[in-house]
Amino acid sequence: MPHYQPFVLFGRSHQIVLLLAVLVPVALAILVRWSKSATLARSIRWIFAVALIADWLYWYWLFGQRGWLNAGNELPVDLCSWAAIATIVALLWAGQKSYELAYFWALAGTLQGLLRPGLDYDFPDPLFIEFCVFHAGIIAAVLFLTLGLKMRPTLASFSRVIAWSFVYMGVAGAVDWALGVDYGFLRAKPIYPSLFDLMPAWPWYLPVLVVLGLLSMVIYYLPFAVIDLFKRRK
């Protein structure tokens, strides 16, 4: 394998990825809203969906080629995989329920992975490229749906997202117990630096995760609550 430079947290490559995850969907949203073209909006949605699916398949190929596939990573039971599935469904069909799952899971979970990626090597390592395309792609797609298609969560979203989040924890917990793995970090903290380092030891960080998840939902809904309040007063 070629020699690559070690990954630098918030280094130049990381900063570029973070900027593109925001600037690309904002630019596309402006273009769609300016053109008012439903065809253009649909084409962009499908391009995002195809890119995420292709990148996901590339991940399987890459890990298979390097002999890294195992019971602890080959199943789509991590939260980012569920966020990706919800995002792809929302992109293909522009459905409200899949969108709200994608919105909250992407911002509460996938964003954390993008900010603190567990990577060993920097660009142009194929794993760096795959990881960033996948995680930044989810974030960018959700932002495009929100800004370009004017989709948004509602108060009714809370009960549905909370219910599905507990479904996810139940599925991940069952798989972890059956296979002795650690999907969702329900059995152990990540080995790489993350917000988990600030939490108490297992199992006490599990209720902390639930509280932080609920708090993040409130935070990410707050802009829409402020907009609604402003409209009512106006």
One DSSP character per residue, 215-232 reads: HHHHHHHHHHHHHHHHHH
Total domains in the fold of the chain: 1
Helix residue spans in the chain (DSSP H): 12-35, 38-65, 79-93, 96-105, 111-115, 126-148, 155-179, 205-233
d(CA 107, CA 64): 29
Q: Is residue 119 part of a domain?
A: yes
Q: Give the pLDDT score at 194.
A: 82
Question: Tell me, what amino acid is at 81?
Answer: S
Q: Give the pLDDT score at 192.
A: 82
Q: Is residue 5 part of a domain?
A: no
Q: Give the pLDDT score at 1.
A: 58
Sole residue written with tokens 């430079």: 5
Q: Is residue 200 part of a domain?
A: yes
The answer to whether the bond into 223 is cis (omega within 30° of 0) is no
Q: Give the pLDDT score at 68.
A: 95
Question: 218 is written with which tokens?
Answer: 């409130």
Question: Tell me, what amino acid is at 77?
Answer: V
Q: Is residue 71 part of a domain?
A: yes
Question: 156 is written with which tokens?
Answer: 């009714």
- Per DSSP, what are the bridge partners of residue 6? 121
Q: Is residue 147 part of a domain?
A: yes
Residues of the chain with pLDDT under 50: none
Mapped onto helix, strand or coil, the DSSP state of residue 40 is: helix
Q: What is the pTM of this model?
A: 0.95
Domain that holds residue 132: 12-233
Q: Is residue 4 part of a domain?
A: no
Q: Give the pLDDT score at 150.
A: 95
Question: 81 is written with which tokens?
Answer: 């995989």
Q: Is residue 6 part of a domain?
A: no
pLDDT in tens, 41-98: 999 999 999 999 999 999 999 999 999 999 999 999 999 999 999 999 999 999 999 9
Mapped onto helix, strand or coil, the DSSP state of residue 121 is: strand
At a CB cut-off of 8 Å and minimum separation 6, what does 39 contact?
none
Q: Is residue 1 part of a domain?
A: no
Q: How many CA atoms lie within 13 A of 98 on its CB side?
A: 16
Q: How many other CB atoms sit within 10 Å of the CB of residue 214?
A: 15
Q: Give the pLDDT score at 133.
A: 97
d(CA 181, CA 87): 25
